[in-house]
Structure 1
Amino acid sequence: MSTEIKENNTSRIDLQLLKKKKVNLAVFGHGNVGGKLLDQILESAASISERKHIVLNVFAVANSGQLLFQTDGIDENWRNKLKAEKAGWDISEVIKFARQYNLKNLIAIDNTGSTEFVEHYPKLIEGGFNLVSSNKHPNTRDLEFYHELRSLLQRHEKEFFYETNVGAGLPLIDTIKLLHLSGENITRIRGVFSGSLSYIFNTFSENDDSFGNVLKKAMNYGFTEPDPREDLSGNDVGRKLLILARELDLHHELTDVNIENLIPKPLRTIPKHEFLEQLDALDVKFHIKKRNQKKDHVLRYIGDLHGDLSEVNGGTLDVKLVSVPRDSTLGQLSNSDSLFEIYTQNYAQHPITIKGAGAGGAVTARGVLGDILRLSDKL
């Protein structure tokens, strides 16, 4: 009798597994975002399986040097297993492995931040993979690549999700897509796009600390890139603004974005350690900007898409430091939050406002996981 009960229970478990959708993931890059994403997948796997009837199976993890395959999915020891793998791999190995084991519902996840890895996207699509990316480079390459990638996705009936390209885990790109597809005439998008620069200027505007000291605090909190010039150059904000412009079918290149570089020219190309030794050189410049503001104004580094957005070559893309009233929506921003204002024909006086955490690996990783789950529902 006990044997029959055991067999029945086993059959019931097998039937439950058969009813669940297995989604096979290859994760590229396991740094601040990628590592946290893998940990989040492992931590939430059971609840996702129970709530959504989806089994997330990470069958491959790769960094720039090593590649780990685990047919039945990685476990908590994936970091040590990856380190033990031989150096050197090719993207064709991942595609071949998926075919060899007949893996279905394939998603390749790009958390690399690499311009070079984007070259693999066409091969992955042709190899049966859908794409999820926190990497902004595929959407800010030249327009020819941008449109060819989307044509390739369409031909192979594959999906590409990249909500975290702008606003970390905030639902910004999806909101803009929905408004645009519904025929809502978007007339302007403005906001604080960078969590690191948000913290820096929110803090600098509210106390008497020097700009150099505020920047050091931001670095210590992990808000900036290892070399903070990557944030202060404005290029990251420029890429994000370009991504939103292209969501509105505007045909702009990165060179069309007017970017105010906050780094003095003599400090832009020197080695990182020398730059960090000369942070005091930034103090006078920003102290003067702060002192010369109108009363009750604060500094904010913003991205601003404005002008005639009805033509494919229309609109102006500005990334710059501005002074805004302290009691305005942008002026009331605090900590490292990002904020976006979407102006439309029907929301001209009172824009749609999206605000929330704009920096941090865990926040971005959670957004990537959200993209994976949304895509999994469509497979």
Structure 2
Amino acid sequence: MKVLKFGGSSVANSENIKKVLSIVEKASKSTKIAVVVSAFGKTTNKLLAGATEALEDITTAKETLETIKELHYRVVDDLILKNKKEVSKEVTCLFDRLLSIYEGIFLLQELSNKTLAKVSSFGERLSSYIIAYSAIEKLDATHQESRDLIFTNNIFLNAQINFEKTNKNITDFFTKNSHQITILGGFISSNANGETTTLGRGGSDFSAAIYAASLDADELQIWTDVSGMYTANPRVVKQAFPIPEISYEEAMELSHFGAKVLYPPTIQPSLRKEIPIRIKNTFDPENNGTLISKNPKNGNEVKGISHFEDISLITLEGGGMIGIPGFSKRLFETLSQAKINVVFITQASSEHSICVGVYDSDANKAKELLNETFSIEIDRKKIKPVIVENDLAIIAVVGESMKNHQGLSGQMFSSLGKNNVNIRAIAQGSTEKNISAVINKSDAKKALNTLHEQFFEEKIKQINLFVTGVGNVGERFLAQLEQQKKHLKKNLKLNVRVIGLSNSRKMVFNEKGIDLKNWKELLENGEQTSLEKFFNKTKECNLRNSVFVDNTANQAVSEVYENYLRQSIGVVTCNKIACASLLDNYKTLKAISRRYNAPFLFETNVGAGLPIIDTLKNLINSGDSVHKIQAVLSGSLNFVFNNFNENTTFHDIVAQAQKEGYTEPDPKIDLSGVDVARKILILARESGYDLELSDISKNAFLPEESLKTTNNKDFYASLAKNEAHFQQIFKEANDKNCRLKYVAEFVDGKANVGLQHIPADHPFYNLEGSDNIVLFFTDRYPENPLIIKGAGAGADVTASGIFADIIRTTK
């Protein structure tokens, strides 16, 4: 025999009930079945609302009752064909009784637990009767009142079962019952006086488990609107999936921590009899769902991740607790007497503090009562007044096999820490089936997704990008990202999504990922942006593995990096301003990056896509020391002087360099040497030297007039005006059989940048196009330097360098 229980969503309307009857018919072909049904969706809540309304206004209560009647009569009309008159008459009779109860509440101005139990019972009495008579017309079925079989004590709203009498009643009834299908209402019962009682929250599940245990059923099936118990809440974790098999104990742990497809007491009667429980989906009946049994097949050592919110931590602490017995007893006794449920407990081994979790709604009451209980100790300064922390959540990692695997708790806390999820308290039982942590409620979604990614997903790491700047470099970066999306997922196990995108005017966000095929249109229709709004929106998203990407050359953008790093949001930037700012700011950013475990990567600050900074870091980290750096670090200047000669004009070559994307938006930054000075400064700092930008001597080749311009138009006009000056510079180098190169040098702690005449035997002489070259002279490379050479400017190579840094953030 099998017992099938159908919840409120499964019997919410006629269409759903037809699906239920189809499942029942199929199941009854192989064995006798007992079918336990809940009230039609949300009916119990409406019944209780009507009772409360009746205290104030019987008219409002009657209106609520009419909406309930409308649903039930509609179902009768849809499902009952042969016995519609008889069924309608009984349904009308039940509603008349319910109306009489509402009128009694109004007249007496009293709403006792006994009355509430009677009112709430009508949901299951109606649903089981209607569904049973619909089944009787097509199947070998019957209806039975659960109130005649399940007996309890006299607690009306959360009654305790009299198992001896209940088991006998159920056994006797089903022994005599010859029908293949028996349909019963869940949740409802009665006491020795024949008065209606109810089984409290999850009562329909509990009723089904009682029937299953009494009948030694082969299986208890819980039919709901999801395909089993999931690895996490699928509404919060989109990648969550049903758990194929799970033990009773694991199911109980997950149920206690918010897995709402099953109510914990449900498991107890079945667990005692070791009756398998299967969670099935009414709307996907072919899905296997989740099997709960004594010996499930081995699976992942972590079976599920669950949580519940609206938790407060109550902390009692003080030196006066140490070595004094009875503090815990008094604490729990106080809470128990006030009927305050404790959902979490942890205590320091020093006995200096004890911490318990309660629901937010009980927090203030708990604080008041505990301060009163321990008032003498508080007055004598032996302990502190009770501390309350609100708006928290408990997250739990559950698995019976966790005890056999080392390092799981380390993985849990490490992955949360990397994503800036602050853990307020930790609890783990000696059975090691559950590791629980209290976190901020606002971090719950991020924590669940982080842990699910850690323990369940195919090690595909999700990276969430917040990108500002969509000019030449930014546009090419987005194109490369779209092009390589499948490659990253297949070969690097990375799912890189752009969540936020902005330019100087607009911004757009999509937590599911912005479609990079039409990002321009989406951005154009986005909302007005500002650096503050973009940061706040990024912080509110609170997504794991978040990275802020700066594709600008903007001073103001560089000044917000610290805000992101302090939120454990990584920063990847091609903007040189931050790393070439004041030394204290540079060191602060590096320190905050380490403190908050947030990557701060800026490979493209020097050499665009060339691995210059990464190579330098590897040298320093492996114990090498840098003594001298010689470099051509400006792709734009190298392009200019490689193409400038007596047959061209300096003005035209600079304009061409800007058009092809080699210069900054303001080309004067490149030609004045400021850009190169920043780059050699960054290399010197990464080599371990403390320098300021003002320490770097610059040998300017631009006329003073050009340097003083304030816009590009005037700057280009000054270049044209001073063409003779630039031709003279070229002639002097050409007369010596030399080439012009803008060189940066760092030697013995000092740095300089300037235009130099490079002879034919020098490594810089044949540097073509916009290429960069760097020579590192170190302890390991004293005579023959380590040379890095390649394209050092251009939107594509800079974008690829940013792309590479984003991949580095995952290491």
- Range class of TM-score, shorter chain: 0.7 to 0.9
Contact 1:193 1:340 in 2 (8 A): yes
Residue in 2 aligned with 1:243?
A: 682
What letter is aligned with 2:689? L
Indicate if the aligned counterparts of 1:29 and 1:63 stay in contact, CA closer than 8 A.
yes
- Greater RCO (Cα-Cα under 8 Å, separation 6 or more): 1
Equivalent residue for 1:323? 757
- Does 1:180 find its partner at 2:606? no
After superposition, the C-alpha distances for 1:20-74 in whole angstroms (9 at most, x for unaligned) are: 1111111111111112111211111011100111100111112223221111111
Equivalent in the alignment of 1:11: none
Q: Which residue of 2 aligns with 1:221?
A: 660
**Which residue among 355, 359, 362 is the counterpart of 2:793?**
359
Match of 1:74 among 514, 520, 526: 514
Identity %: 34
Deviation of residue 17 (structure 1)? Answer: 6.0
Pair 1:266-2:702 in alignment:
no
Q: Which is further off, 15-24 or 142-151?
A: 15-24
Q: Are 2:651 and 2:716, in contact at CA under 8 Å, matched by a contact in 1? A: no
1:160 aligns with 2:600: yes
Task: Check if 1:97 corresponds to 2:540.
Answer: yes
What do the CA deviations read for 1:284-335 (whole angstroms, capped 9, x no partner)?
22332333346321111111111x2xxxxxx111110000112321011111
Q: Conserved in 1, the CA contact under 8 Å of 2:502 and 2:529?
A: no
Asked if the contact 1:302–1:319 (Cα under 8 Å) also holds between the matched residues in 2, the reply is: yes
Structure 1 residues 38 and 16: CA distance shift in structure 2, 3 A: farther
Q: Deviations over 1:245-298 (max 9, x none)?
A: 100121111111111233211222334323323423333223323333463211
2:731 aligns with 291
SS state at 1:140 partner: coil
Q: 1:154 to 1:274 in 2, by over 3 A?
A: closer
Partner residue, 2:89: none
SS at match of 2:762: coil
Find out whether 1:343 has 2:777 as its counterpart.
Answer: yes
Which amino acid counterpart does residue 276 of structure 1 have in structure 2?
Y
Q: 1:223 to 1:151 in 2, by over 3 A?
A: closer
The 8 Å contact of residues 698 and 753 in structure 2, kept in 1 or not, is answered as yes
1:116 match: secondary structure:
helix
Q: Tell me if structure 2 keeps the 8 A contact 1:233–1:260.
A: no
CA separation in 2, counterparts of 1:186 and 1:19? 38
> What is the aligned partner in structure 2 of residue 127 from structure 1?
567
Instruction: Quote how far apart the aligned CAs of 1:94 are.
Output: 2.4
Q: Which structure 2 residues correspond to residues 297-312 of structure 1 after superposition, within 5 A? A: 297-306=738-747, 308=748
Q: How many residues get paired?
A: 357
User: Which stretch has the larger CA shift, 120-129 or 159-168?
Assistant: 120-129
Shift in CA distance, 211/96, structure 1 to aligned 2, threshold 3 Å: closer
CA 1:60–1:220 in structure 2 vs 1: closer, same or farther (change >3 Å)? closer
Q: TM-score, structure 2 length as denominator?
A: 0.42
The verdict on how the C-alpha distance between 1:295 and 1:128 changes in structure 2, with shifts beyond 3 A counting, is closer
Q: How far 1:138 moved relative to its partner?
A: 1.4
Rounded to whole Å, the distance in 1 between the matches of 2:535 and 2:623 is 41
CA shift for structure 1 position 201:
1.1
Cα deviation for residue 118 of structure 1 reads 2.3
- Tell me the secondary structure at the aligned position of residue 513 of structure 2: coil
Superposed CA deviations along residues 114-169 of structure 1, whole A, max 9, x for unmatched, are: 11122322221222311111111111111111112222122212211111110000
Q: Kindly name which structure, 1 or 2, has the bigger radius of gyration based on alpha carbons.
A: 2
Q: Distance in 1 between matches of 2:731 and 2:497?
A: 55
| Distance in 1 between residues matched to 2:660 and 2:572, nearest whole Å | 28
Q: Does the alignment pair 1:275 with 2:718?
A: no
Across the aligned residues of Structure 1 and Structure 2, the Cα RMSD in angstroms comes to 2.3
Is the contact made by 2:775 and 2:785 (CA closer than 8 Å) also made in structure 1? yes
- 1:97 and 1:329 map into 2 onto residues whose CA distance is 51
Change (3 A) 1:126 1:220: closer
Name the SS of the counterpart of 2:500 in structure 1.
strand
Moved more, 207-216 or 47-56: 207-216
CA separation in 1, counterparts of 2:538 and 2:548? 10
Instruction: Give unmatched runs, 5+ long, in structure 2.
Output: 1-283, 289-452
SS at match of 1:343: strand
1:296 is matched by which residue type in structure 2? N
CA contact (8 A) 1:211 1:282 kept: no
Q: Given residue 235 of structure 1, which amino acid in structure 2 is its aligned partner?
A: V
Q: 1:105 to 1:262 in 2, by over 3 A?
A: same
Structure 1 residues 364 and 22, CA gap change in structure 2 (3 angstroms): same
Asked whether the equivalents of residues 343 and 350 of structure 1 are also in contact (C-alpha less than 8 Å), the reply is: yes
Measured after TM superposition, the shift of residue 18 of structure 1 is: 4.6
